[in-house]
Amino acid sequence: MDKGYSKECWISIILRLAMVTLFGVAAANKFLGGLAGVVMHITGMFKDTWLPVPLVSLYARLLPWAEAAIAIWLLLGVRLKEAWIFTALVLVSLAFGMIVAKQPAADNYFYVLMACAGLYFSSYDKWNVNNWKKK
């Protein structure tokens, strides 16, 4: 069953699946709930902050697409190092926003740590769409 995968590879796969579920469900909820409502909710969180509303609105419009892209990218396992870096940057931006909005951000930094671990273990990961094909 393990097809010769190392424990480091399995750690990477587990981290990827955790992030796929996190970002996949977050994106699905935003799309199913309606993007206009998401934008209104997020811009409302920042109405009394120093961040410009047009910037927050743009971010809120792009966030569900970034979350969906992360879920798909990590699931496919192609160019994992780049996928983990993108994931970490999105997570840092979310944590930054939470701090600006005076909301708890500790969870976001835990996820940043998970993305860093994913980046570290990605070099051991052999499970990707390119290897799924039977030769």
Region 61-75 average pLDDT: 98
Q: Does residue 88 form part of some domain?
A: yes
Please tell me the total count of domains within the chain. 1
Q: Does residue 135 form part of some domain?
A: no
Predicted confidence (pLDDT) at residue 2 exceeds the cutoff of 60: no
User: What DSSP string describes 91-118?
Assistant: HHHHHHHHHHTT---HHHHHHHHHHHHH
Q: Does residue 56 form part of some domain?
A: yes
pLDDT-above-70 percentage for the chain: 96
**Separation of alpha carbons 27 and 51, rounded Å:** 23
Q: Does residue 133 form part of some domain?
A: no
Predicted confidence (pLDDT) at residue 21 exceeds the cutoff of 50: yes
Domain assignment of residue 119, given as a range: 7-127
Q: Does residue 1 form part of some domain?
A: no
**Separation of alpha carbons 16 and 8, rounded Å:** 12
For residues 16 and 23, the answer to whether their CB atoms sit within 8 Å is no
Q: Does residue 2 form part of some domain?
A: no
- Tokens representing residue 57 in the block: 């609105």
Class of residue 109 by CB neighbours under 10 A (exposed 0-12, middle 13-18, buried 19+): middle
Q: Does residue 132 form part of some domain?
A: no
